[in-house]
């Protein structure tokens, strides 16, 4: 459990880090680049559409855990921005009429509702492509080129055909036919956890993590990613509408197959706790100089009511 | 002009290189990767749908020009495959109903006609993402990591918001309103030439090109890319239907603004010759050890009737 002081501390940390990421995103497309104006606007619209900024914050926290100081964290910023761009593109494409056909996200009209389908497709393509550009600039902040190249390779693996994009294909095909816990977990492991696992590894790479540390960070990310998804499902059943900012029970109304639906509410909550503890154990036993923030983040994410 | 022997030689070269690229594309998605089966199939469907393989061939030819031997060319293969994947994803997304809404490409049903819109969007996203993975493997073939990272950075710049994706946004918005030569040229410079210019630079990087050589290669690519586009427009007016594999005059029927429409057939042909000569001069005056193949390729592309 978290004390009130801890909650205040972690909330302050999350707000400050989100602000830092959002400030950096404003100049992520170089002002000097000649970019089609509508395309630039469409890309920035979705980058600025809010969200918890969870992935970039995890990149920074992982770098701090491994490097032990603010300098290590600063070197990880390009990777933090890159992962947020990849996450954003995936939402833009996911909302398209041919995909989930969503008109609103986080209370705002989705990209294609504002800019049209063609521009939304291009804005997504542009954000995805540009993520690699931003990641590749990490050596300017002191990350060795060979490490930065490994991060590029991992970003494409965790976000690509065998990772997030593959998970979305599984999800799309499975929408009617998910009947087992294993199927559901397989989809979320790729659709959500892969990019979170990448975030932890990327932060580790920026701080020069060893192979053993990278594995521990990845395990932390994978477990926290799954716990995050299950907790979301749980909140949709038992959460507080005012804090969630959306009506309860929307998953059930949409016929979505969720963890509570498949294994029950109590077992879902038990699984969130178990995954979170495993995540915490992974980073506590990896000999990291400063794992505290990651531990706090894992505890907080499990306890959140929003 | 080309002699008959030269034509035979360059045709043999093009066929052999295309075959080499196509063979390598078969294992570009590692067999060991667990990938959603339909997604893998959809990605491979478009990778295998033919085309001239012009961009990857130019990557390989640039590496040969700079390195002077087959070893330099071999090191460039990952970049050749990456650029073909980026080109392929752009065609898959370009053909979508929300974009150009094409049912056929190169005589085959387009990706979304076979696999549905959602899967076509994901296959495009997956191909784009995977291109960076393949490019990042170049150090395994002997390309230094810092060079490979520069290629990643350039791929994302030339293919991204300020490059190909930007050109597509310009094109989409301009469809009704192109009235000047400058507008048309601006669109093609980004939509087509940027990725070709990248191809030349990437081959150069693989062979350790100097800054001056890279600039000459880029100029070659930019000019050849534009000449290629203008020549396509010319062939649509004056070409041989049997050799083109499609009916003549389709640009005019679709109301497409082309070079012959804006500046006339004769001036268009003159411009193709001029751009080609400038391209050839660029590589001949850059002190490259083996520029002959690039010169041959430029001459051949200007003379082609297909």
Mutate to test the interface with A, among B113, B127, B156 (most CBs of A within 10 A): B156
Name chain A contacts of B121, Cβ cutoff 8 Å. Answer: 93, 96, 98-99, 121
Q: Nearest-CA residue of chain B relative to A33?
A: B162
Predicted confidence at residue B6, as pLDDT, reads 82
Predicted confidence at residue A223, as pLDDT, reads 97
Span B138-150, pLDDT tens digits: 999 999 999 999 9
Architecture of the domain made up of B4-303: Orthogonal Bundle (1.10)
Q: Nearest-CA residue of chain B relative to A34?
A: B162
CB A34 within 8 Å of CB B169: no
CB A186 within 8 Å of CB A179: no
Domain locations along chain B: 4-303
Name chain B contacts of A98, Cβ cutoff 8 Å. Answer: 96-98, 116-118, 121
Alpha-carbon distance A106 to A24, whole Å? 21
Of A118, A129, A130, which is closest to B98 when you measure between CB atoms? A118
Predicted confidence at residue A266, as pLDDT, reads 95
- Which position has the higher pLDDT, A78 or A242? A78
Predicted confidence at residue B238, as pLDDT, reads 86
Of B99, B155, B162, which is closest to A121 when you measure between CB atoms? B99
Alpha-carbon distance B208 to B188, whole Å? 29
Say whether A160 and B126 touch across the interface (CB within 8 A): yes
Say whether B128 and A130 touch across the interface (CB within 8 A): no
Residue B83's pLDDT band, with cuts at 50, 70 and 90, is very high
pLDDT at residue B7 above 90? Answer: no
pLDDT at residue A250 above 90? Answer: no
Name chain A contacts of B38, Cβ cutoff 8 Å. Answer: 169, 173
What is the value of ipTM here, to two decimals? 0.96
Name chain A contacts of B173, Cβ cutoff 8 Å. Answer: 36, 38
Question: Tokens for B81?
Answer: 């495959």
Predicted confidence at residue B214, as pLDDT, reads 98
Residue B162's pLDDT band, with cuts at 50, 70 and 90, is very high
Say whether B121 and A98 touch across the interface (CB within 8 A): yes
Predicted confidence at residue B176, as pLDDT, reads 63
Residue A209's pLDDT band, with cuts at 50, 70 and 90, is very high
User: What number of CA atoms fall less than 13 Å from residue B200's CA on the CB side?
Assistant: 30
Mutate to test the interface with B, among A37, A161, A170 (most CBs of B within 10 A): A161
Residue A174's pLDDT band, with cuts at 50, 70 and 90, is confident
Name chain A contacts of B122, Cβ cutoff 8 Å. Answer: 93, 165, 168-169, 172
Say whether B118 and A98 touch across the interface (CB within 8 A): yes
Question: Average pLDDT for residues A267-294, to the nearest whole number?
Answer: 96
pLDDT at residue A64 above 90? Answer: yes
Say whether A130 and B166 touch across the interface (CB within 8 A): no
Name chain A contacts of B89, Cβ cutoff 8 Å. Answer: 125
Say whether A165 and B121 touch across the interface (CB within 8 A): no
Say whether A139 and B117 touch across the interface (CB within 8 A): no
Alpha-carbon distance A17 to B82, whole Å? 35
Predicted confidence at residue B212, as pLDDT, reads 97
Span A106-128, pLDDT tens digits: 899 999 999 999 999 999 999 99
pLDDT at residue B294 above 90? Answer: yes
Angle, alpha carbons B254-B256-B260 (nearest 5°): 125
DSSP A247: -
């Amino acid at each position: 459990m978290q004390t009130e002081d801890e909650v205040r501390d972690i909330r302050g940390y999350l707000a400050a880090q989100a602000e830092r990421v959002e400030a950096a995103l404003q100049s992520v497309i170089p002002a000097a680049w000649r970019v089609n104006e509508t395309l630039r606007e469409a890309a920035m619209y979705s980058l600025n559409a809010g969200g918890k900024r969870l992935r970039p914050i995890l990149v920074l926290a992982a770098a701090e855990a491994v490097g032990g100081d603010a300098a290590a964290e600063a070197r990880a910023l390009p990777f933090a921005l890159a992962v947020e761009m990849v996450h954003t593109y995936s939402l833009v494409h996911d909302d398209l009429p041919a995909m989930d056909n969503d008109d609103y996200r986080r209370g705002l009209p989705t990209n294609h509702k504002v800019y049209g389908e063609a521009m939304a497709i291009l804005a997504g393509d542009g954000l995805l492509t540009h993520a690699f550009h931003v990641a590749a600039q990490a050596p300017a902040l002191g990350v060795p080129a060979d490490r930065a190249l490994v991060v590029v390779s991992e970003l494409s693996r965790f976000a690509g055909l065998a990772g997030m994009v593959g998970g979305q294909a599984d999800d799309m095909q499975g929408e009617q036919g998910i009947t087992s816990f294993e199927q559901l977990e397989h989809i979320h492991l790729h659709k959500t956890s892969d990019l979170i696992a990448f975030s932890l590894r990327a932060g580790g790479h920026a701080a020069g993590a060893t192979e053993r540390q990278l594995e521990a960070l990845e395990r932390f990310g994978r477990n926290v990613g799954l716990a995050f998804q299950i907790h979301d499902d749980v909140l949709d059943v038992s959460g507080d509408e005012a804090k969630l900012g959306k009506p309860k029970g929307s998953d059930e109304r949409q016929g979505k197959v969720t963890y509570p639906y498949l294994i029950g509410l109590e077992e879902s909550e038990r699984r969130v706790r178990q995954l979170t503890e495993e995540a915490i154990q992974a980073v506590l036993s990896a000999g990291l100089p400063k794992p505290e923030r990651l531990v706090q983040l894992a505890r907080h994410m499990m306890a959140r009511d929003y």
